[in-house]
A and B are shown apart, each in its own frame.
Chain A
Amino acid sequence: MEVLRLENVYKNYGKVEAIKDLSFSCAEGELFVIIGPSGAGKTTTLKMISGLEEVTKGKIFIKNKLVNNLEPKDRKVSMVFEDYALYPHLSVYKNISSPLEAIGVSREEVDKKVKETARLLQIEELLSRLPSMISGGQKQRTVLGRSLVKDADEYLMDEPIAHLDAKLRYNMRGEFKRLQQLHKMSILYVTHDFKEAHSLGNRILVLNKGVTQQIGTPQEIFSKPANTFIANLIGDPPTNLIEGNLKLKEGKYFFQTDSAFINLSDSLANKLLSKVKNGKVIFGIRPFDLQCILGHKDNVKIPDIEVYVTVTIGKYNLISVKLSNTIIKIRKDKSFKVSIGDKMSIDFEEEKLDFFDAISGNRIF
């Protein structure tokens, strides 16, 4: 069942269009993620849904009821902000109960709800403590508790774990996912981190400058990014994007980028030419889909290229090569060791490539 629906929503601040024609819907029990860089309009969207910002144009429905003109308190949503603050002089219990007390829920009902929520978040034994006496992760759960204690049709979460240190964020991400899978809350979750979005989301909406770029499952977005903006957002390191022209020389097709060449098969070249008349395209290839061969090898996509530099990222080596003016990154196992200036050849399977229009940046296939 659908819980939340946005229909052609716009938000203008003066002349600035913060959100343009945004439409999506979230099902009951779904965790829907909006991902985008800062300034994309993520927080603005949450604020419009919760009623903290007015909608300039368009409609927002919660459980099929138009809520554009309802006060925040009359909308059954609960919001968690990025820069959370617990009341330092109040116990964990009181921090969690405060939203209920503010709306005049009876004492027994409050007690029942707080204990239920604390059990859910595994902070039951901390209820009598002050925020200064608990760890960062426990504080974060208390903040979540304050949001989850309220009955809501949709929970709105604005980067709830973004400011935690890397290790805690790693653990909280898993905890959060488990919690949502076990209890099936309906959550609209905002983040700028693709791993977080991929891990948590049932579906993801990619937003840039107020405009929807793609909506899909994490797997769809990861395997078939709709444009170069998304390709640049996903992966660690992100997809290599190489701009150039398809050329035919002595009966063989190749891809030219500045003064460098990549060999291509006839079938791929013909397929590309049927879609892009002028032959101008952007190649997308994942750093882990590139194979490196030490020294020279015939019949590969990029023969004879020098290692630009290598850095070690945790368990893998990130090898860079410079193809004319473009730096290409290759992710290899740590056991593959090369140094600056070493000669290599590079190969890849053509099926692993993404192609984008050189002007619009949109996916060709």
Chain B
Amino acid sequence: MVQKLELKSVYKYYERGNVEAVKDLNFSIKEGELLAILGPSGCGKSSTLRMVAGLEVISKGEIYLDGEIINWLSAKERNIALAFETYALYPHLSLFENIAFPLRIRGINREKVAKEVNHIADMLDLTVALKKLPSEVSGGHQQRTSLARALIRPASVYLLDEPLSHLDTQQRTEFRVQIKRIQKTQNLSMLFVTHDQLEALALADKVVIMNFGVLQQIGTPEEVYEFPENLFVADFVGEPPMNFIKAGLFKEEEAYFAKFYNQKLKIPENYKNSIKKFYKKDGTEITIGIRPNYIHISEPGENNFVNGEVYVFEDIGESGILTVQVGETLIKVELNPGHSFQIGEKVNISLNLEKMLIFDPFTEKRIKPEVE
């Protein structure tokens, strides 16, 4: 099957300052797929988007749209719809006319235009504002108008650059739902750029995570959340953030253990071969990664626990965040509502060892078990 969009070994250099903004980037989008590029500012995600849109020259490599190379096509000649963070609306046109614009220039009849505009405006909660000018509405409205204008016309691929960044938390939850609904029901192929990991994981079928112009991991939201390739991805994805614990690897009889501050955790059986390869001597350094929701308060009699002291406990309504101090390390635990703890109280916590990840602290890569 032909990919809707494909990047092959794409590079972007900015000559001034000799900056490599994007290095050897490869990924593709299938029809009806939503791919999110996620990363901190400066990671190269916007340069990538701009190269796909035709707003930046591709320094090296090829970009294909519907199987045809588009490197030399102008932005206009590419069958791509765009919605940018900065809305670029026509200031003298009403929101209705802004949204209708791509249909009008294609000579679509009046009735159909009205029907389509009203439909998309309803989904993005713009109906009551349609008669207003961009200057008369909030930034959030303008951003949704820009989004509506992009989504209203047929295109091979839709590019969205931080499309919800100007909305407040509640609106963002609303419109994530709507974007996903529109994308799935109309089977749109989409490339979405964001620095918000929550947004990327909520919407995407596939996530591309970048840092300093380099691809860190490409996978489903589930894969990047549960099986991050390296410490950067592990740390960047998930809220509350993943706990990292520096530990030493020890061998006792035929089993391996991670030890830190008088604590001892047995490395699960499925790691046997990979850990055997990694182990050099007792004390070989590893970094354990575990998400706060994969730790619980130990039941009496439960093995494999870690004992520490309550550093602080926060009741945040729907859940409780317990921070436990073990030696110099602070470990966050996400609990169900209904708990209460005092600072300094002794507490035993158990890690869900099946969800525990192990990293090489030097290469920062994850040490993978034989079976995941």
- Which residues on A are within 8 Å of B, measured CB to CB? 37, 166-167, 170-171, 173-175, 177-178, 181-182, 194-195, 198-200, 218-219, 222, 232, 234-238, 288, 308-309, 311-315, 318, 320, 327, 329, 340
**A244 shortest CB reach to chain B, Å:** 20
User: Is there an interface contact between B323 and A218, defined as CB atoms closer than 8 Å?
Assistant: no
- Knowing A232-B170, A309-B184, A313-B198, the reply to whether A194 touches B177 (Cβ < 8 A) is no
Q: Which of B174, B221, B317 has most A Cβ within 10 Å?
A: B317
Interface footprint category on B: 35 or more
Instruction: Report yes or no: B202 in contact with A181, Cβ–Cβ below 8 A.
Output: no
Would you call B311 and A178 a contact (CB within 8 A)?
yes
Whether A177 contacts B314 in the complex (CB less than 8 A), given A309-B177, A311-B203, A314-B201, comes out as yes
Q: A174-B311, A311-B176, A311-B202 are in contact. List 12 more A-B contacts (CB 8 A).
A: A167-B235, A174-B314, A194-B317, A199-B314, A200-B314, A218-B315, A235-B318, A237-B170, A313-B201, A314-B239, A327-B177, A340-B185
3 nearest CB pairs, A to B: A199-B314, A178-B312, A309-B181
B119 touches A (CB below 8 Å): no
- Cβ contacts under 8 Å, B173 to chain A: 236-238, 318, 329
With a CB–CB cut-off of 8 A, which chain B residues contact A166? 239
Q: Is B321 interfacial (CB 8 A cutoff)?
A: yes
Residues of chain A with a CB closer than 8 A to B201's CB: 312-314
Q: Which B155-213 residues sit within 8 Å CB-CB of chain A?
A: 168, 170, 173-174, 176-177, 180-181, 184-185, 198, 201-203
Task: List A contacts of B317 (CB < 8 A).
Answer: 194-195, 198, 218, 222, 234-235
A219 to B320, CA, bound (A): 12
| With A174-B314, A182-B343 as contacts: A311 and B180 at CB distance below 8 Å | yes
Q: Tell me if A199 and B316 are in contact (CB < 8 A).
A: yes
User: Which A residues are CB-close (under 8 A) to B181?
Assistant: 308-309, 320, 340
> Is B241 close to A, CB under 8 A?
yes
Q: Is the CB of B316 within 8 A of A195?
A: yes
Q: A177–B312 contact, CB under 8 A?
A: yes
Report if B293 contacts A (CB, 8 A): yes
Distance between Cα atoms of A180 and B332 in the complex (Å):
19
Tell me if A173 and B318 are in contact (CB < 8 A): no
- Report 16 cross-chain contacts, Cβ distance below 8 Å, ordered by A residue: A37-B168, A167-B241, A174-B311, A174-B314, A195-B316, A195-B317, A198-B315, A199-B315, A218-B317, A235-B317, A238-B170, A312-B202, A313-B198, A315-B291, A320-B177, A340-B185
